[in-house]
Structure 1
Amino acid sequence: MKVKAIGFLGGSFDPIHNGHLLPAIEVAQRLQLNTLFLMPNHIAPHKAGSHCNAQQRSEMVELAVQGITALQVDRRELNRDSASYTIETLKEIRLEYPDTPICFIMGMDSLINFNSWFQWQEILNYCHLVICARPGWKGEFNDAVNALLKTHQTISISDLHALQSGKIYFQDTTQFDISSTLIRNNLKHHKSVKNLLPTPVFDYIERHQLYQ
């Protein structure tokens, strides 16, 4: 019996919001993934960009996915002492799931810069890339990325389940005009964010007085 593909979607999730959650559910459903794991990135504690500690970001993601059968949380990057390259994470995931097709989900902006990633030529040995794009959006790619697409792009979802790795698939997703920066700014200035976040995440932020 064929094993259905699983997906991984990384992000700082600082905080997680509906603009992360709704497209994630959409991708999991459209690609018929067995599970889509949200994977909070490691942020160095001293980095200016980090507003909540790893534990708080992890707890918020846990609250956000509660009751959503398609989504789970993968904490491996948070449990490390330092940021890791995507290739290292994918090698680890592949060891855990030796016979399962793996989809690594990312945005169009990541694909545009893909050939600047560490050991980028190796990444498709470990996973498929699923590129989330707003409907009708066409990326301008450099020669290296264009060559990669020529060899690896597929328009067939069944390829993502039949093969363990090696394909690039573009998935249209609904884009929401919400960002973690907007939410942090609104909270700082005591503006409402209630409709931008899952209720349990909003309650958690209020309870712990985060981003004030």
Structure 2
Amino acid sequence: MKAKAIGFLGGSFDPIHNGHLFSAIEVAQSLQLTDLFLMPNHIAPHKAGSHCNAQQRSKMVELAVQGIANLKIDKRELNRDTASYTIETLKEIRAEYPQTPICFVMGMDSLIHFDSWFQWQDILNYCHLVICSRPGWKGEFNDTINMLLKQHQSTSIEPLHELYAGKIYFQDTTQFNISSTQIRQAISNGNHQHLNELLPPLVYAYIKQHQLYK
């Protein structure tokens, strides 16, 4: 008996906010995933884009998914010393879950540039791609991506559970007007108004306790 599909959703989660969380819940439920793992990306310590260390970002994701059925954290990319290519991560995941369909969840902007990814031609051998998109939005793709869609796109979720890998599925997701940048700026400016509406309560408490993003 083949296991039902699981999903992986990467992001810097710096910090994780309700937009991330609600979208993840929506995707997990719509696709009927057994579990959806939130996978914080490795960010080099010297990179200007990183505002919290790996341990802090990991802790915030842990707090955010606490008590939410189907949502879990996967720390493999955080535990590496260097950034890793998606293909390497997927090979690791496939080795751990040889009998389970795997969905790799990403945004429309990632699909537009997908043919510039390292060893992108091999990625669909290891997983399905689930593309989160605004309802009714049609991406402008180059010929390579259009050909890929022609060969691999599925308009139903059944193949995501029946096959281990190889399909591309577009999932409409509600767009939340929340960004980590906006939250970091608000905290840095001492403006905590509405932050309790944008962040999971435990994450907001953790940020205040450790005085992050000051």
Shorter-chain TM-score bucket reads over 0.9
Among 193, 206, 211, the residue aligned to 1:204 = 206
* CA distance in 1: counterparts of 2:3 and 2:206, whole angstroms: 36
* CA distance in 2: counterparts of 1:69 and 1:26, whole angstroms: 12
Offset at residue 71 of structure 1 (A): 0.2
Name the structure 2 match of 1:6: 6
Offset at residue 87 of structure 1 (A): 0.2
Q: Any idea what SS the aligned residue of 1:161 has?
A: helix
Offset at residue 69 of structure 1 (A): 1.1
Q: Deviations over 1:153-208 (max 9, x none)?
A: 00110100000000000000001000000000010111121210000000000000
* CA distance in 2: counterparts of 1:186 and 1:156, whole angstroms: 41
- In the superposition, the TM-score normalised over structure 1's length comes to 0.99
2:2–2:99 Cα contact (<8 Å) kept:
no
Name the structure 1 match of 2:57: 57
Offset at residue 124 of structure 1 (A): 0.1
**What is the correspondence of 1:1-212 to structure 2 with a 5 Å cutoff?**
1-191=1-191, 192=193, 193-212=195-214
Over aligned residues, Cα RMSD in angstroms?
A: 0.5
* CA distance in 2: counterparts of 1:162 and 1:190, whole angstroms: 50
* CA distance in 2: counterparts of 1:155 and 1:174, whole angstroms: 18
* CA distance in 2: counterparts of 1:121 and 1:140, whole angstroms: 20
Please tell me the residue identity of whatever aligns with 2:197: N
Please tell me the residue identity of whatever aligns with 1:124: L
Q: Deviations over 1:136-167 (max 9, x none)?
A: 10000001100100000001101000000000
* CA distance in 1: counterparts of 2:143 and 2:92, whole angstroms: 30
2:102–2:164 Cα contact (<8 Å) kept:
yes
Q: Deviations over 1:1-30 (max 9, x none)?
A: 231000000000000001100010000001
Alignment length (residue pairs): 212
The unaligned stretches of length 5 or more in structure 2 are none
* CA distance in 1: counterparts of 2:57 and 2:110, whole angstroms: 22
Q: Deviations over 1:10-61 (max 9, x none)?
A: 0000000011000100000010000000000000001000000000000000
* CA distance in 1: counterparts of 2:70 and 2:35, whole angstroms: 5
Could you tell me the percent identity over the aligned residues? 76
